[in-house]
Amino acid sequence: MSSQQHYQRIAQAIEYIQQHFQHQPTLDEVAAQIHLSPAHFQRLFSEWAGTSPKKFLQYISLEHAKSILRSKQSSSLLQTTLQTGLSSSSRLHDLFIQIEGMTPAEYKHGGAGLKIQYEFTETIFGRVLVASTTKGVCALSFIEQDDHAALQELRTKFPNAEYVQQEDVMQLRALALLTAQPNSIEQVKLHLKGSAFQLKVWESLLKIPSGQLASYADVAAQIDQPKASRAVGTAVAHNPVAFLIPCHRVIQASGVLGNYHWGTTRKTAMIGWESAQSDADGEES
């Protein structure tokens, strides 16, 4: 079974668990909903998430989100000296992400003069389109319909660029973060189209450690614009590189996960998966 098929099954399970959390569905009940035996489901889920379905349910609960936002670690998480949220994981301690904004000419003229290389591939959170320029990864999007539709959406953002279907080392470094067992993690460079405000917000999101969460107000305070929570929300929603800039780690102050461009189920899966990985890293260290 491919990574894409694994994620589809896991997503179905997550949706069922969320819809029926009030009566705490058993392993047998969830397994039946996705047409797997309990033993197969337990093995598949543990292989994907690195933890049991029962433990995962705790990670994605409202109370867990609230406890993180209330914690001392959460109140200071945006003051961390980490260069990237993922560097809180012992396996990924060498990783850091650098953002370079596109020039005014590249931004204004729809990517004129840019050569964009792109490729389609499967990840633990579903199939993606990843694209890069000579300076870094410029887009990473989950494929909601089909490959052609995803590519057309990218072309609307950079209508005047030259497109070549080809993978490169920058794409591979970025995609290493979306594998169940990342091996050699190296510097990831991003080359993004965004306003000065958006770039500032995106850079602040990189400081949220993996397995942790922040509210929109937290991010607004970090960029010294405490009244700009709504504008921060808009910038978060326009993040062009899913998962690499961890907008999924930003939730409502109430603990509710809120909307996500790539679907609430996928956001839930990312939060639960990162919590499981962080706990596992903590046990190993």
* DSSP letters spanning the chain: --HHHHHHHHHHHHHHHHHTGGG---HHHHHHHTT--HHHHHHHHHHHHSS-HHHHHHHTSHHHHHHHHHSHHHHHGGG---SSGGGGSGGGTT--EEEEEPPHHHHHTTTTT-EEEEEEEEETTEEEEEEE-SSSEEEEEE-SS-HHHHHHHHHHHSTTSEEEE---HHHHHHHGGGSSS--S---EEEEE---HHHHHHHHHHTTS-TT--EEHHHHHHHTT-TT-HHHHHHHHHT-SBTTTS-GGGEE-TTS-----TT-HHHHHHHHHHHHHHHHHHHHH-
Catalytic residue among 60, 137, 220, 247: 247
247 is catalytic: yes
Residues with catalytic annotation? 247
